[in-house]
Structure 1
Amino acid sequence: MDGVMQVQSRISEIQSRFVYRTPAASGGWASAAAAAGLDGTGATSAYASSGATASEGAVVAEAQKFLGVPYLWGGTDPTKGLDCSGFTQLVFGNLGIDLPRTSSQQATTGKPVASLAEARPGDLVFFDHSSSRAGIDHVGIYVGDGKMVAAPQPGEAVKVQDVGTPAVIRRVLPQQTPTPMPAASGSALGGVPYANLFTQAANRHGVDASLLAAVASQESSFDSQAVSPAGAQGLMQFMPATAKGLGVNPLDPTSAINGAAKYLSSLTKQFGSTELALAAYNAGPGTVSRYGGIPPYAETQNYVRAVMTKAEAYR
């Protein structure tokens, strides 16, 4: 399934629960909002009581809760309707971040992002759509993969759509300290196969030898000649295209382990945590970016848990 189809499938799943209906159909959006635990401010019981710190994933998840809410100029109440800046103000407000009311005011908050290529999920993307007056007049929330969630215009509803070319991009999320991979282990990893190779690669690339061993265990059960039904090869189960891009011989243990260490180091720097790096190793970096966190796939979620558990056991 390609990226567009995955996004469309996700939209359908969410809208099946929260889609706007006319008053003649089950009580309209107000009924759907109430059933979803939304009050007149858009707050949910989970966010209202948790005091959780906003993160990229939290912003994306919160924005998705309002898919299907009808556009209403000046709207700030999801039981009635939202305009573009009312929507963004509501999403961030529910996560403890105060934004000004209008899109032009919001475009001066936070820190500038140089280009869409550098945008992260949770960034605000702004547009100048009006030919009658200069300045920002529209805003959406970037969710990755060239998509944003926004309240578009009268007659439409909050939806996922292509970003296009924003005039301004701002980052209002607080700077988060990445959760680094644990320091490289110098242990012999007990009786783990290829222990010396894991330790050498870990020291070379600044990752945890126990984590590398755990990935090999989960991926191939330490079988250097393993080939999966999908075509992944070797000890670290590289797909041929990924192996080629990294310059790795996936069936050579030394090359495969060194390539996996290099790849995991890069993924950790990109996503900021061991867990997200593992999710990207399993499901692909684009998928993690698209969902703004560990994707909602049972396979990937179980993979991350299993590898982290094994890594802890190897230490």
Structure 2
Amino acid sequence: MSFFQPQLSKTLIVCSLLLGMTAQVSAADAEAPNTDELYEYLFPEARGSAHVAAAPSAVPGASAPAPRPMSAFRDQNRRASWSEDQIQAMKGAFKAKEPAPVERQIAGAVAVPAQSSPFDAASVSLGDRPFADLIQVYAAKRNLNPRLVSMMVKQESRSDPNAISPKGAQGLMQLMPDLSKQFNIDPFDPEMNIKVGTQYFADLLAKYGQVELALAAYNAGPGAVDKYGGIPPFSETQNYVSTIMAGVAQLEANNQ
């Protein structure tokens, strides 16, 4: 009886070790799909390579890969695994960035340089140009160049405070009735017209950041500029912008 006891104990110990090792291998195999899924997501160029290596029977004459030696330390035998939440978090972290949107190129729209000069707002002399004093005052309040405002007044109404356009725009800077009503002004009063006109243009300049686009929006409306992504392909608007820009450049060249 004493002879079999030690032998029996050793047999039980060996069986227990084998069962433990089998359980660890089974757990690792059960975790493999999650690991493979994440690996293939992060390294798409290697997709399928793990499965090919795991199935040597698909290649004639291929031999089975040598089994990984088991370590005496349990943690080293465990394959990495992630929960579903962890997998999604990892995918999100490594998600490819969406390409930057390509600006629409619309036929007929005029491209505007990204660094278009808004003209400085330094006080300049307008000489004897019409309504020079009012233009100086409100251009300074809106941080606008007086030459630019003077050219707008000239282009809009030919400096006629009583001008009315076929579309109903009124006064020196050709304000639409709704805008005059919004500010509760008489559009035919030169000072009130320039006050509101410069405020409206300053708001457009703040929105678009470029004089050319602000001028186009003043003439054709912000909706048209937004729709075409630039100066709209309207001959009236394009001539309006180019004429004012050329006029300001000429005034600056002549120091007027």
The alignment's TM-score, normalised by the length of structure 1, stands at 0.44
Q: CA RMSD in A?
A: 2.6
**2:208 is equivalent to residue 271 of structure 1:** yes
Q: Are 2:168 and 1:231 equivalent residues in the alignment?
A: yes
Which of 272, 283, 302 is the aligned partner of 2:239?
302
Query: Deviation at 1:297?
Result: 0.7
* 2:124 pairs with 1:187: yes
Match of residue 281 from structure 1: 218
| CA deviations over 1:210-241 (Å, ceiling 9, x no partner) | 01110110111100011112111000011101
Q: Does the Cα contact within 8 Å between 1:210 and 1:312 map onto a contact in 2? A: no
> Relative contact order: is structure 1 or structure 2 higher (C-alpha 8 Å, sep ≥ 6)?
2
With over 3 angstroms needed to count, the CA separation of the structure-2 counterparts of 1:180 and 1:260, relative to structure 1, is farther
- CA–CA distance in structure 2, aligned partners of residues 243 and 289 of structure 1: 23
Q: Report the count of equivalent residues.
A: 152
- Is 2:200 the partner of 1:252? no
Partner residue in 1 for 2:143: 206
Indicate conservation of the 8 Å contact 1:212/1:260, yes or no.
no
1:111-168 CA distances to partner (integer Å, 9 max, x unpaired)?
A: xxxxxxxxxxxx74xxxxxxxxxxxxxxxx786xxxxx9xxxxxxxxxxxxxxxxxxx
| Runs of 4+ off more than 4 Å | none
SS of residue paired to 2:169: coil
Structure 1 residue 178: Cα displacement: 5.4
- Give the distance between the partners of 2:131 and 2:122, measured in 1 at CA: 14
Q: 1:235 to 1:278 in 2, by over 3 A?
A: same
d(CA) in 1 for partners of 2:156 and 2:181? 19
Give distance in 2, aligned partners of 1:237 and 1:105.
52
Deviation at 1:272, TM superposition (A): 1.5
Asked if 1:314 is matched to 2:254, the reply is: no
How far apart are 1:312 and its partner, in Å? 2.2
Rg larger for? 2
Change (3 A) 1:312 1:180: closer
Q: In structure 2, give the amino acid aligned to 1:253.
A: P
Output the TM-score relative to the length of structure 2: 0.54
Gaps of 5+ in 1: 1-103, 111-122, 125-140, 144-148, 150-175
Return the alpha-carbon distance in structure 2 between the equivalents of residues 274 and 185 of structure 1.
16
Q: Is the 8 A contact 1:224 1:251 kept in 2?
A: yes
Instruction: Name the counterpart of 1:113.
Output: none
Instruction: Indicate the larger mover: 233-242 or 304-313.
Output: 304-313
The residue that corresponds to 1:222 in the other structure is 159
1:211/1:307 contact within 8 Å kept: yes
Please give the secondary structure, in 1, of the residue aligned with 2:233: coil
Shift of 1:266: 1.1
Normalized per residue, the structure richer in strand is 1
AA partner of residue 291 (structure 1):
Y
